[in-house]
Amino acid sequence: MYATIADMRRLLPNNVSIGDRNIGTPSPGRTTGRSVITTTDAKQYIAYAQQYIDSRLRNMYLCPLIRAKSYETEILSNIHHGTNVVVTVRDTGSFEELSYIRLQNKSNMETTTVKTVNDLTTITLTSVAGIYLVADNSKIAILEFPDPIPLIAARLAVSFAFDQLYVQTQSPDVSTYGKTQRNLARSELEDVLKGTILLNGQNYNGRHFVRGTLFDAYRSPAEITKGEDKEST
């Protein structure tokens, strides 16, 4: 999926949470005042968002999009199999918690996730199955969907979820917050369609990225006017 539940949580208002269980012991007659979205529903909203993104980008890129290597660096300490493995690199500025990463050398390759970023030069990986030595020119790389696809997917998923919660207690069919998130997501998609934003690491589809002098007419497969697909707030 193009986004995670953690991405959705960062965009949701404080009075809306995602989870299947309440934290703590509720008191009789006392409510938390928070609306709850189940994790199952949240994943489905992200899937809906991915369907929408793919439908818009399919004329330009092969969909679904793939995770591509956005950053790669050499490891500066030997890595052995185990859990909570500490890795030393030159600079941890590009890594963040839950980053999807790949370890690779001449004979081994595997993927895992970052558990914590400890300081400027060390990170902790959740688990490692192989052995990666500095002498083998071992490298660590970040694998991710190109920007701003995760943000677009999270905005769309949040808008779907928020509208469902809103319509349960309010008379309008959709919420202003939901429309705002969709408009922001559509604006970013329009920039991708116009070529203002390039999705690095993806496979191209069609003639949009071929040199214009090779054809009699150089046209974008998605001729749109910025903002025409927006919802009024």
Phi first, then psi: give them for residue 224, nearest 5 degrees.
-130, 160
Query: Which of 215, 59, 62 is closest to 146 using CA atoms?
Result: 62
Burial string for 119-131 (b: 16+ CB within 10 Å, else e) reads eeebbebeebeee
Q: What is the CB neighbour count within 10 angstroms for residue 87?
A: 24
Residue 199 and residue 90: Cα distance in Å, rounded? 27
Domain range annotation of the chain: 5-22+32-65+147-214, 68-144
Least confident of 50-59, 115-124, 181-190, 220-229: 220-229
pLDDT at 82 over 80: yes
Only one residue has tokens 């943000």, namely 151
pLDDT tens, 118-149? 999 999 999 999 999 999 999 999 999 999 99
What would the two tokens of residue 75 be? 């490891």
pLDDT tens, 150-193? 999 999 999 999 888 877 666 566 778 889 999 999 999 999 99
Q: Do residues 178 and 163 lie in contact, with contact meaning Cβ atoms separated by under 8 Å?
A: yes
Q: Which is more confident, 169 or 52?
A: 52
pTM for this entry: 0.80
Say which CATH architecture domain 68-144 belongs to.
Beta Barrel (2.40)
What would the two tokens of residue 199 be? 């999705």
